[in-house]
Amino acid sequence: MHSHLVTLVVFSALVSTVFATLLRDTLRERLRFGLLAFAAFVLSTFLIGWLTNPFPR
């Protein structure tokens, strides 16, 4: 797995799945929470990457 994007997506999906399974009790709540957590992981990574772009070192 040498693609940064694929690594980010896989990591976010797996961690979101664990959080959703642990923190919510019904399937509907888990799906909703898992999707929100996944989106938060991916979007925050892009945001931080964009903000730190002027500082490569």
Looking at residue 21, the DSSP 8-state letter turns out to be H
Grouping H, G, I as helix, E, B as strand and the rest as coil, residue 35 is: helix
Region 3-22 residues binding other proteins, contact defined as CB under 8 A: 7, 10-11, 14-15, 17-18, 21-22
- Rounded to whole angstroms, the Cα distance separating 27 from 52 reads 37
Looking at residue 26, the DSSP 8-state letter turns out to be S
Region 19-38 residues binding other proteins, contact defined as CB under 8 A: 21-22, 25-26
Nearest approach in angstroms of CB 50 to other proteins is 20
Which residues of the chain form contacts with other proteins (CB under 8 A)?
1-2, 7, 10-11, 14-15, 17-18, 21-22, 25-26
